[in-house]
């Protein structure tokens, strides 16, 4: 597994855990750790998680587009 695959997978997991905490306990771990939702570092983490999710979706789309 390439290092980029591992890093993006870890970021997607972090994002999933964060969304679970937001939904279950109204607690945003990323915002807490990085200075609030509007802090530049927190926003960077949110963007990296989103880009990681898109990166992780690509192999699924390639597989789905193959015949058979």
Q: Percentage of residues in the chain with pLDDT exceeding 70? A: 99
Query: Tokens standing for 25?
Result: 């306990």
Average pLDDT over the chain, rounded to an integer:
95
> Cα separation of 53 and 57, whole Å?
6
Predicted confidence at residue 62, as pLDDT, reads 87
Look at residue 58 and tell me whether its pLDDT is greater than 70.
yes
DSSP class per residue in 12-50: HHHHHHHHHHHHHHS--HHHHHHTSTTSHHHHHHHHHHH
Calculate mean pLDDT across residues 41-64: 95
């Amino acid at each position: 597994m390439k290092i980029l695959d591992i890093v993006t997978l870890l970021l997607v997991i972090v994002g999933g855990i964060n969304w679970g905490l937001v939904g279950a306990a109204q607690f945003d771990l990323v915002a807490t750790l990085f200075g609030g939702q509007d802090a530049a570092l927190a926003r960077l983490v949110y963007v990296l998680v989103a880009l990681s999710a898109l990166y992780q979706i690509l192999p699924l789309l390639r597989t789905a587009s193959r015949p058979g």
